């Protein structure tokens, strides 16, 4: 094929159409500088494809040269599909130029300082960001159609052509609703009966409903979750640009929320001051001796009213491994020492099997008093509330400061949440080494009592193996850092 200079190829705003044309151009040996891909923005005149400057039809009709299979790495294909959604009119030429260069420079995408690679990364990031904003800023309005059927309709104007990219998110999130999203580029509808996305033509803003009764509920919810203590108008505008405000009913609340933010923060401070905490009872000097002397006087939460005594930590202050349990049990409460009851027996057996000696570990609990419910003569263990774990946290932090262990191993979910937060999932993140503001290296494993509570032998063996193996791993890591 004799290649003319500056052949113009018209591309529908579709990555699939560009890919078809690019394959043909590459197989025909067209160099990037000899071809100009441009978007089809309006219906072409009847004689357009007959002009000398347009090679769209000719390109697809020309027999392919036997040049072998093109090299198209997965990383390029993934980024190219996203860049194809960008509105930059030069994106198709950029993608073809990169595709051409990849045939002789297979590591091209690793050269981040390359201008073409850098531009591809920029487009990829901007499209991803725009998709994220669409997920966040689409607001459906409820419309009742004939027969009382509900239809939820939203109008949205994305920065790039991302409708087909973003639509599956809404299909998964709102699978039982009948909904439509209208944009200047096209529309999409979801039918929960067929579970199919149906794409249609562009729709103007005036075709979408302006509001509904659900906006009242949404505004009420938004007002309740608004955190005045984290108020930063500049950051808010960065995450929620002004151009999106027309679709967001909550924007109407912002002036009032901003005006009352200072007063609400002061109210939050006063409320926080009234919450139970052991902080006033923790000594300024963080040594194990000072902590042990101060602990019996703690009245940081109501648990002290019912427990026999406070249970301090125990072990050598030179230990590299700190074990943090949930709270004392019945025997610990009576004897005033951690892990001396049935769960302690399981723990000590696992420590012995892992080859860990008493001088290697310090044992303590996230909560220092036994929480229980009385049933006749029995005192049945109760899990501490998050507020009680938080109230007792100053004691644990003081112990961490005094001991400075190389690694902390939390036994059970309650202990883990004291250092890793309320959203920590024990069985998902068990055995991982995590960093926290309180300790550089924290792990979590099952509590020995979970082994005792197992319903069958198989589960019991599995949980015990988790405990023993995690103890062994934690000990090795702690000793490696010595």
- The secondary structure of the chain in percent helix, strand, coil, rounded to multiples of 5, reads 50, 15, 35
Tell whether domain 279-480 is in CATH 3.40.470.10.
yes
- In the chain, where does the domain assigned CATH 3.40.470.10 lie? 279-480
How many C-beta atoms surround the C-beta of residue 41 within 10 A?
9
The whole-number pLDDT of residue 428 equals 87
The whole-number pLDDT of residue 50 equals 33
The whole-number pLDDT of residue 422 equals 75
The whole-number pLDDT of residue 256 equals 67
In 3D space, the residue among 288, 311, 324 whose CA is nearest the CA of residue 474 turns out to be 324
**Which pairs from 427-433 meet CB under 8 Å and 24+ separation?**
430/466, 430/470, 431/466, 431/469, 431/470, 431/473, 433/407, 433/477
How many C-beta atoms surround the C-beta of residue 457 within 10 A?
8
**Sign of CA pseudo-dihedral 80, 82, 83, 84:** positive
> What does DSSP assign to residue 385?
P
The tokens for 443 are: 């792990």
The whole-number pLDDT of residue 145 equals 73
How many C-beta atoms surround the C-beta of residue 377 within 10 A?
5
- Cα–chain-centroid distance for residue 361? 34
In 3D space, the residue among 310, 327, 311, 330 whose CA is nearest the CA of residue 377 turns out to be 330
The whole-number pLDDT of residue 2 equals 43
The whole-number pLDDT of residue 231 equals 57
The whole-number pLDDT of residue 49 equals 33
The tokens for 75 are: 């990383």
Q: Is-contact 313 362, C-beta < 8 A?
A: yes
The whole-number pLDDT of residue 151 equals 87
The whole-number pLDDT of residue 84 equals 95
Low-confidence ranges of the chain (pLDDT < 50): 1-5, 42-52, 63-66, 213, 217-219, 221-222, 225
Going through 336-440 in order, the beta strands assigned E by DSSP cover 361-365, 372-375, 378-381, 407-411
The whole-number pLDDT of residue 22 equals 93
């Amino acid at each position: 094929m004799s290649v003319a200079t500056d052949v113009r190829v018209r591309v529908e705003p579709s990555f699939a159409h560009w890919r078809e044309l690019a394959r043909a151009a590459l197989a025909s040996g067209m160099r990037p500088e000899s071809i100009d891909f441009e978007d089809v923005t309006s219906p072409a005149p009847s004689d357009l494809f007959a002009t000398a400057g347009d090679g769209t039809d000719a390109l697809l009709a020309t027999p392919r040269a036997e040049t072998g299979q093109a090299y198209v790495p997965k990383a390029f294909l993934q980024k190219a599909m996203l860049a194809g959604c960008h509105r930059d009119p030069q994106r198709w030429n950029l993608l073809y130029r990169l595709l051409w260069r990849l045939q002789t420079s297979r590591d091209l995408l690793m050269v981040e300082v390359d201008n073409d690679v850098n531009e591809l990364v920029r487009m990829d990031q901007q499209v991803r960001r725009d998709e994220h904003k669409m997920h966040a800023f689409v607001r459906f309005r409820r419309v009742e159609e004939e027969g009382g059927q509900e239809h939820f309709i939203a109008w949205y104007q994305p920065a790039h052509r991302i409708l087909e990219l973003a639509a599956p998110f809404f299909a998964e999130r709102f699978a039982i609703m009948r909904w439509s999203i209208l944009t200047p580029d096209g529309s999409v509808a979801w039918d929960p009966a067929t579970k199919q996305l149906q794409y249609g033509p562009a729709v103007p803003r005036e075709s979408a409903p302006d509001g509904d009764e659900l906006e009242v509920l949404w505004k009420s919810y938004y007002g309740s979750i608004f955190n005045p203590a984290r108020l930063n108008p500049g950051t808010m505008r960065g995450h929620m640009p002004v151009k999106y405000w027309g679709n967001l009913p909550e924007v109407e609340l912002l002036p009032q929320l901003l005006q009352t933010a200072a007063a609400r923060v002061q109210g939050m401070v006063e409320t926080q001051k009234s919450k139970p905490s052991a902080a006033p009872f923790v000594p300024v000097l963080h040594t194990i001796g000072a902590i042990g002397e101060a602990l019996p006087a703690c009245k940081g939460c109501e648990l002290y009213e019912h427990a026999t005594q406070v249970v301090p930590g125990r072990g050598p202050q030179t230990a590299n491994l700190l074990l943090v349990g949930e709270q004392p049990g019945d025997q610990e409460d009576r004897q005033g020492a951690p892990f001396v009851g049935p769960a302690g027996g399981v723990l000590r057996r696992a420590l012995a099997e892992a080859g860990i000696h008493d001088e290697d570990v310090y044992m303590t609990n996230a909560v220092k008093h036994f929480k229980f419910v009385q049933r006749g003569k029995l005192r049945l263990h109760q899990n501490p509330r998050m507020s009680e774990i938080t109230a007792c946290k100053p004691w644990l932090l003081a112990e961490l400061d005094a001991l400075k262990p190389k690694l902390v191993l939390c036994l059970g979910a309650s202990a883990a949440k004291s250092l890793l937060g309320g959203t920590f999932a024990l069985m998902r993140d068990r055995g991982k080494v995590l960093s926290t503001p309180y300790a550089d290296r924290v792990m979590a494993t099952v509590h020995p009592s979970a082994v005792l509570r197992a319903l069958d032998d198989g589960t019991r063996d599995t949980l015990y193996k988790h405990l023993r193996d995690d103890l062994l791993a934690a000990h090795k890591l702690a000793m490696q850092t010595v």
